[in-house]
């Protein structure tokens, strides 16, 4: 869990090059207490934003393009929550690495991984915490390995 005191602090979780693409949701009120992660769509569509924090790390924002590509024709698996249900909107989201170079992940296009994990946990009567911790760890791995973001907050 982490807390964002202001819109500025929320924007500062993103890399400088991403900040101009970020559009905050009108539903946000500050201070904003975030459990697990925060995800929202650009009101005009085409972009999805994620803010998460790994244990010991600072809140980290990623601005994704959803490329308007729609869902894959073949059933895909979300590489973060491992959901495979057809018709649940799993597709390629991409983020800028540097310059025009982009990296992507096949994930739930609306970043609704948390809802899916909670549903699965409710069905089996088990705790969602272990799966949620793995989910946030996978977000961190994508940010640090693919996007080379320092999750400790250094160099921001
Ligand atoms: Zn997912």
Please check whether residue 52 lies inside any domain of the structure: yes
Distance 152 CA to ligand 1 centre (A): 24
| pLDDT above 90 (res 154) | no
pLDDT band at residue 23 using 50, 70 and 90 as cut-offs: very high
Give the strand pairing for 47-52 and 90-98. unpaired
Q: Evaluate if pTM is beyond 0.75.
A: yes
The percentage of the chain sitting over the pLDDT mark of 70, rounded to a whole number, equals 92
Distance 77 CA to ligand 1 centre (A): 8
pLDDT given at position 107: 94
Please check whether residue 64 lies inside any domain of the structure: yes
* Structural domain range at position 87: 2-146
Q: What's the structural domain count of the chain?
A: 1
Distance 100 CA to ligand 1 centre (A): 26
Distance 46 CA to ligand 1 centre (A): 18
36-47 pLDDT per residue, tens? 999 999 988 899
Query: What is the pLDDT of the chain when averaged over all its residues?
Result: 91
Please check whether residue 125 lies inside any domain of the structure: yes
Residues 6+ apart with CB under 8 A from 62: 14, 18, 49, 50, 51, 95, 139, 142, 143, 147, 149
Distance 1 CA to ligand 1 centre (A): 19
Provide the 8-state DSSP code for 87: T
pLDDT given at position 71: 53
52-103 pLDDT per residue, tens? 999 999 999 999 998 755 555 666 899 999 988 766 688 899 999 998 899 9
């Amino acid at each position: 869990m982490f807390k964002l005191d202001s819109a500025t602090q929320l924007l500062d979780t993103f890399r400088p090059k991403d900040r101009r693409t970020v559009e905050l949701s009108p539903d946000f009120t500050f201070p904003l207490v975030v459990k697990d992660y925060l995800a929202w769509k650009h009101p005009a569509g085409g972009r999805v934003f994620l803010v998460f924090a790994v244990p010991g790390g600072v809140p980290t924002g990623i601005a994704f393009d959803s490329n308007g590509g729609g869902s894959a024709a073949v059933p895909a698996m979300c590489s973060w929550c491992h959901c495979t249900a057809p018709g649940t909107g799993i597709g390629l989201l991409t983020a800028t690495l540097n310059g025009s170079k982009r990296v992507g992940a096949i994930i739930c296009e609306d970043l609704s991984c948390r809802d899916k994990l909670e549903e699965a946990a409710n069905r089996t009567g088990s705790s969602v915490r272990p799966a949620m911790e793995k989910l946030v760890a996978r977000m961190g791995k994508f940010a640090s390995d693919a996007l080379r973001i320092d999750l400790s907050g250094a160099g921001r």
